[in-house]
Structure 1
Amino acid sequence: MDEKQRVISRLIVQVGQMLLAHGAESTLVGDLTHRLGLACGMDEVEVSMSASSLVVTTVMEGHCVTTARRSPDRGINMKVVTEIQHICIMVERKVIDYRLAERKLNQIQPTRYNRWLVLFMIGLSCAAFARLANGDEIICAITFLASSVGMFIRQEIAHRNFNPLLNFTVTAFVTTLISSQAVVYQVGNYPFLAMASSVLMLVPGFPLINAVADMLKGYVNMGIARFVMASLLTFATSLGIVAAMTLTGTWEWVR
């Protein structure tokens, strides 16, 4: 019985660890780990979360087991979160037991879109923002080029596991450096639109949404931690933009 409880406790904390690492909001993490523990036969399941770690306590027939795990950021991936939810539902419906659930959990691999498709769609979306702001074809083309190159730089830096803050700073610098040429050479109807639109890909929207959701749903510490991280990413982006504008001398349009 003790061995079963230990195995289930490890399964629960692994689920929570993977959910946190791939961007799930705290309410979902707490709910899924609690439901999974009860479905596996635990009497009680308590979960405590912080920005980079997870502590799970299970109670079964008066025996208490507590386990802790670190939860490093693995990047936002909702496919992983969805697959974990499916496993939890199957355990609840008695389709699989906890041992099969553990095997299925270990088989989950984060999938990524084709990087060239990502580059094209990022460039297209930023160009669409420029178009919505009444930019002409030249402005849209420059925005597309700057944001696509910037996203390529971002992917390369992330692939080499550099700090995300450094990644955002360098990406913002390169993107602004390219888009600022529209202001330098005064091409297009509104040259400054290329600079404003091309860096929109660096807005940390998902972390900010999760931060607000966590605070509204009672996970204040997690919400504050996520909000601080999103703010630091925004600050890093601003540093890159300011550095590029200082280098090219394209401050006029801000005044």
Structure 2
Amino acid sequence: MDSKQRMVSRLIAQAGQLLLAHGAESTLVGDVSRRIGMAASMDEVEISLTANSIVVTTLYKEHCITTARKCPDKGLNMRAVTQVQRICIMMEKGILDYRMAQKKMDAISPERYNRWLVLVMIGLSCACFSRLAGGDAGVFMMTFLASSAGMLVRQELGHRHFNPLLNFAVTAFTTTLVSAQAVIYQIGAQPQLVMASSVLMLVPGFPLINSVADMVKGYIHMGVARFVMASLLTLATCLGIVAAMNVTNVFGWII
């Protein structure tokens, strides 16, 4: 029985670790982890979350086990989150026992879209924002080029595991450096729109949304931690933009 409780505790910790590392909100992490434990016949399951770790306590036949796991940020990946949820549901329906669930949990691989597809779609999305703001074809093309160049730099730095703050600052610098050429050479009717639209890919929307959701649902410390991180990413982006503006001496969209 002690062996079963240990295996289930590790399964719960692994599930929570995957959810937290890939961007799930705290309520979802806690609920899914508890449901997995209860589906595996545990009497009680308690979850404690911090910004980069998870602590799991299980109670089974008056025997208590506590385990902790570090949860380094691995970037947003809803595929990994939905796979963990699917395993939870299959356990609740009796399709999987805890041993089979462990094998499926070990097999979860956070696959990502092709990097070139992501680069093109990010470029198009920022270019579409410039079009919605009133830009013409020249502005559209320059926004596409600037945001695509910035995304390429962001992907390369991310692949090499640079600090996210440095990543955002360098990406913002590169993007603004390229977009400033539209103002220097007067490409398009409103070239200043290129500088404003091309950096929209760096808005940390998901962390900000999760931070508010966590605070509203009672996870105050998690919400504050995520809000601070999102604010630091925004600050890094601003520093990169201002640095590029000073290098090119172009301050188009903020004047």
> Normalization by structure 1: what TM-score?
0.99
State the alpha-carbon separation in 2 of the partners of residues 43 and 81 from structure 1: 25
2:205 alignment partner AA: G
Q: Does 2:219 align with 1:219?
A: yes
1:199 alignment partner AA: V
State the alpha-carbon separation in 2 of the partners of residues 92 and 18 from structure 1: 19
Deviation at 1:201, TM superposition (A): 0.4
User: Partner of 1:136 in structure 2?
Assistant: 136
What count of residue pairs does the alignment treat as equivalent? 255
8 Å Cα contact 2:196-2:253 kept in structure 1: no
1:236 alignment partner AA: A
State the alpha-carbon separation in 2 of the partners of residues 253 and 56 from structure 1: 49
Over residues 111-146 of structure 1, what are the superposed CA-to-partner deviations in whole Å (9 max), with x where a residue is unaligned? 111111111100100000000000010001000000
State the alpha-carbon separation in 2 of the partners of residues 48 and 63 from structure 1: 19
State the alpha-carbon separation in 2 of the partners of residues 228 and 135 from structure 1: 34
Over residues 144-167 of structure 1, what are the superposed CA-to-partner deviations in whole Å (9 max), with x where a residue is unaligned? 000001100000000000000000
Alignment of 1:71-90 (within 5 A): 71-90=71-90
SS for the counterpart of 2:226 is helix
State the alpha-carbon separation in 2 of the partners of residues 115 and 35 from structure 1: 35
User: Partner of 1:97 in structure 2?
Assistant: 97
State the alpha-carbon separation in 2 of the partners of residues 102 and 78 from structure 1: 20
List structure 1 runs of 4+ shifted beyond 6 angstroms.
none
1:43 alignment partner AA: D
Gaps of 5+ in 2: none
Deviation at 1:207, TM superposition (A): 0.5
Deviation at 1:253, TM superposition (A): 4.3
SS for the counterpart of 1:57 is strand
User: Partner of 1:199 in structure 2?
Assistant: 199
8 Å Cα contact 2:193-2:253 kept in structure 1: no
Deviation at 1:254, TM superposition (A): 2.2
Deviation at 1:252, TM superposition (A): 4.9
Deviation at 1:187, TM superposition (A): 2.0
Q: Does 2:113 align with 1:125?
A: no
User: Partner of 1:175 in structure 2?
Assistant: 175
State the alpha-carbon separation in 2 of the partners of residues 149 and 128 from structure 1: 16
8 Å Cα contact 2:169-2:236 kept in structure 1: yes
Structure 1 pair 133/5, CA: closer, same or farther in 2 (3 Å)?
same
User: Partner of 2:244 in structure 1?
Assistant: 244
8 Å Cα contact 2:192-2:252 kept in structure 1: no
Alignment of 1:29-68 (within 5 A): 29-68=29-68
Deviation at 1:178, TM superposition (A): 0.3
8 Å Cα contact 2:135-2:189 kept in structure 1: yes
2:126 alignment partner AA: C
SS for the counterpart of 1:20 is helix
Q: Percent identity among equivalent residues?
A: 66
User: Partner of 2:15 in structure 1?
Assistant: 15
CA RMSD of the aligned region, Å? 0.7
Over residues 71-129 of structure 1, what are the superposed CA-to-partner deviations in whole Å (9 max), with x where a residue is unaligned? 00011000000010000000011101000000000000011111111111001000000
State the alpha-carbon separation in 2 of the partners of residues 120 and 41 from structure 1: 48
8 Å Cα contact 2:172-2:237 kept in structure 1: yes
Q: Does 2:129 align with 1:153?
A: no
State the alpha-carbon separation in 1 of the partners of residues 83 and 190 from structure 2: 45
Gaps of 5+ in 1: none
State the alpha-carbon separation in 1 of the partners of residues 157 and 252 from structure 2: 31
8 Å Cα contact 2:57-2:67 kept in structure 1: yes
State the alpha-carbon separation in 1 of the partners of residues 70 and 104 from structure 2: 21
State the alpha-carbon separation in 2 of the partners of residues 251 and 201 from structure 1: 20
User: Partner of 2:184 in structure 1?
Assistant: 184
1:179 alignment partner AA: S
